[in-house]
Amino acid sequence: MLEDLDALSRRIQTVVQLAQNLQAERRALKARIQQLEQECQTLKSQQAQEHDEFARMSERMSRHDQELQAVRDETAQARQTLETQLQDHQSRSESLQQRLSTAQADYDRLRTAASGAQQQIDLILERLPGAEA
């Protein structure tokens, strides 16, 4: 009977030891769960911050794209205006060049005619009585 009690005592000690081990393991698991929950909360917070930052950056990029497109549109408009002005000035320059060429030709023709007329007048004056010989 003593042997049975000793065996029972050893079994009870084993059960107590196992219960204590299980409790220690339970405490360790609870601590690990709390740590993981804190890490999870930290990661959720970090994710929310990164999401907010991403949203701000997306909005900022969208604004920059709109501003860039506005500048491109404005530049295209200015270029078109300048090209139109250039064509107008080129046309005017060509027209003035043609008028200058015409005026120069008229001038040369009139100069030749005036020279010819002067020569005829000189000849007439030489033939007049009392002209200096």
Cβ 131 vs Cβ 125: under 8 Å: yes
Reported pTM: 0.51
CA atoms in the 13 A half-sphere facing the CB of 84: 6
Burial code (b: 16+ CB inside 10 Å, e: under 16) for 65-77 equals eeeeeeeeeeeee
Give pLDDT tens digits for 34-65: 999 999 999 999 999 999 999 999 999 999 99
pLDDT tier, 131 (very low <50, low <70, confident <90, very high otherwise) = low
Confidence check: pLDDT of 72 > 90: yes
Query: Is pLDDT at 133 greater than 70 in this prediction?
Result: no
Q: Token digits for 40?
A: 């999870």
Q: Residues with Cβ < 8 Å from 43, sequence gap 6 or more? A: none
DSSP label at residue 132: -
pLDDT tens readout for residues 109-125: 999 999 999 999 988 88
